[in-house]
Amino acid sequence: MSVIGTDEIAIDEPEQYDWPALVGDLNRLLRLKTTPIGMKMFPTRAGMEAIPRIRRPKDIHTTDQIVAQAARLGWTVGITVEDLVGAQCSAVIGLSPRDDRWLSGKNMAGVWFETIEDSAAHQAAMDVVPFGQYEAMAVSPLTSGRLDPPDICLVYATPGQMIILINGLQWSGYRKFEWSVVGESSCADSWGRALKTGEPSLSIPCFAERRYGGVLDDELLMALPPKYIPRAIAGMERLAGNGLRYPIPQYGVQSDARAGLAVSYGG
């Protein structure tokens, strides 16, 4: 399984990925501070546990913490629903159902949202993987090659790095990206939506991702199927050849803009 959802624009899946080279290109073009990782869903626990050098949690965690163990510590970690603190985490990746209690948002009323109606509306708005297809999930640094290929890749980046990545995706076969923000539980905006739709999905990591998942204050998260990575790199290479690269040099807020604009935009 390489994509759970469907694409609006057909992009061929490579026969194989050279993950060290691809991550090297991402780091060269974007100067990333956080390790790009993969996430893969498994129909059976046994399939997940067969991954080489897989770690299994000894404690109960949030999904944010599991993702962080790969992105911040470089671990390969596999989980089942029993390893997660509750259904708010496990339902996003399809390991538990969106039952009446979950959909009610009862636990969030008066904490994150004013009324039970607001809480229920939030729960209904979340993008999640359908329940019943998978028993387990694993995350691992892309360079390990242990999830080859993963269902999605997770790239943490600053806003400046992220816009260059998006520009690279848009270089060829342009499309307008439209992303949603559910607020709290924004993992539904990133890995939930990308797993569900097979589309690149950008999110502003929420309070819980930053508190429990170690996401830095200046980081955004892009979740995207692996076949988009070579496409983004190729686009960023072409942009760099045109002088449009990261880091973006400051031109000066009081300088005459005409010379700079003539190079980047014509005129």
**Per-residue model confidence as pLDDT tens for the chain (267 residues):** 444 444 455 677 888 999 999 999 999 999 999 999 999 999 999 999 999 999 999 999 999 999 999 999 999 999 999 999 999 999 999 999 999 999 999 999 999 999 999 999 999 999 999 999 999 999 999 999 999 999 999 999 999 999 999 999 999 999 999 999 999 999 999 999 999 999 999 999 999 999 999 999 999 999 999 999 999 999 999 999 999 999 999 888 889 998 888 888 875
Tell me if residue 75 falls in helix, strand or coil. coil
Helices (H), 31-180: 45-49, 63-71, 87-90, 100-104, 116-125, 159-170
- Angle among Cα 3, 7, 10 to the nearest 5 degrees reads 105
Q: Where are the domains of the chain?
A: 19-247
Predicted local confidence at residue 262, as pLDDT: 85
Question: 10 Å Cβ neighbour count for 6?
Answer: 9
**Contact predicate 85/109, CB 8 Å:** no
**CA 92/CA 185 separation, integer angstroms:** 9
- Angle among Cα 228, 231, 232 to the nearest 5 degrees reads 85
Predicted local confidence at residue 266, as pLDDT: 75
